[in-house]
Amino acid sequence: MSAKTYTEQNIDLLKSSLVKATGVLLKSKKAPDELLGELFGDVQTQQVYPDGKTFVDLVPKKRIRLIKEEYKLLKSDPNFDLREFVTRHFTDLAQTLHTKEPFEVHADDTLEEHMTRLWDYLERRNRVDRGSLIALPHKYIVPGGRFNEQFYWDSYFIMLGLAAQGEWKKVEDMVKNAAYMIRKYGYVPTANRTYFLSRSQPPFFVMMVHLLAEHKGKKVLRYYLPHLLIEYRFWMKGRRKLEETEHNAYRRVVQMSDKSLLNRYYDNKVTARPESLREDTETAHASGERIRDRLFLHLRAAAESGWDFSSRWLADPNDLKTIHTADIIPVDLNSLMYMMESTIADAYNSLLHPIQTRRFRKAASKRKDAINEYLWDEDQKFYMDYNFHQQENTTVFSLAGVFPLYAGVAGEAEAEYVAAMIQREFLKPGGVVTTLIENGQQWDSPNGWAPLQWVTVQGLRNYGYDELAETIAHRWIELNESVFKDTHRMVEKYNVMGGNGLGGGGEYVLQDGFGWTNGVYLALKKSLEGN
Question: Helices (DSSP H) in 196-290: which residue ranges?
Answer: 205-216, 219-223, 225-236, 277-286
Residue ending a domain, choose from 134, 163, 193: 193
Residue 289 is predicted with a pLDDT of: 82
For residue 142, being part of any structural domain is answered with yes
**Angle between the N-to-C axes of helices 38-45 and 277-286, in degrees from 0 to 180, rounded to the nearest 10:** 80
167, 193, 219 - which closes a domain: 193
Catalytic annotation present for 112: no
Nearest to 384 by CA among 325, 312, 456: 312
Distances (CA, A) of 240 to 77, 235, 244, 326, 386: 55, 13, 9, 19, 22
Q: How would you write the pLDDT of the chain (531 residues) with one tens digit per residue?
A: 565 565 666 667 777 777 777 777 778 889 999 999 999 999 999 999 999 999 999 999 999 999 999 999 999 999 999 999 999 999 998 766 666 678 888 888 999 999 999 999 999 999 999 999 999 999 999 999 999 999 999 999 999 999 999 999 999 999 999 999 999 999 999 999 999 999 999 999 999 999 999 999 999 999 999 999 999 999 999 988 898 888 999 999 999 999 999 999 999 999 999 999 999 999 999 998 889 999 999 999 999 999 999 999 999 999 999 999 999 999 999 999 999 999 999 999 999 999 999 999 999 999 999 999 999 999 999 999 999 999 999 999 999 999 999 999 999 999 999 999 999 999 999 999 999 999 999 999 999 999 999 999 999 999 999 999 999 999 999 999 999 999 999 999 999 999 999 999 998 999 999 999 999 999 999 999 876
- Residue 151: strand pairing partners: 191
End-to-end CA distance of the chain: 40
Residue 376 belongs to some domain of the structure: no
Q: Is residue 229 part of a domain?
A: no
Q: Other CB atoms closer than 10 Å to residue 105's CB: what's the count?
A: 10
For the question of residue 492 being annotated catalytic, the response is yes
User: Would residue 348 count as lying in a domain?
Assistant: no
**Which of 172, 308, 327, 385 is labelled catalytic?**
308
CB-side neighbour CA atoms (13 Å) of 449: 26
Of residues 33, 57, 492, 512, which has the active-site annotation?
492
* Cα separation, 147 vs 145, whole angstroms: 5
Q: Which domain holds residue 411?
A: 396-531
Residue 252 domain-assigned (yes or no): no
Give a yes or no: residue 44 inside a domain. Answer: yes
Of 131, 162, 193, the residue at which a domain comes to its end is 193
Q: Which residues, at least 6 apart from 469, have a Cβ–Cβ distance to it below 8 Å?
A: 456, 457, 458, 460, 461
Residue 457 lies in a domain: yes
Nearest of 114, 46, 106 to residue 75 by alpha carbon: 46
- Domain count for the chain: 2
Q: What is the pLDDT of residue 347?
A: 98
pLDDT attached to residue 531: 62
Neighbours of 183 (CB within 10 A): 13
Whether 381 maps to a domain, the answer reads no
Task: Name the residue among 22, 229, 221, 224 with its Cα closest to residue 137.
Answer: 22
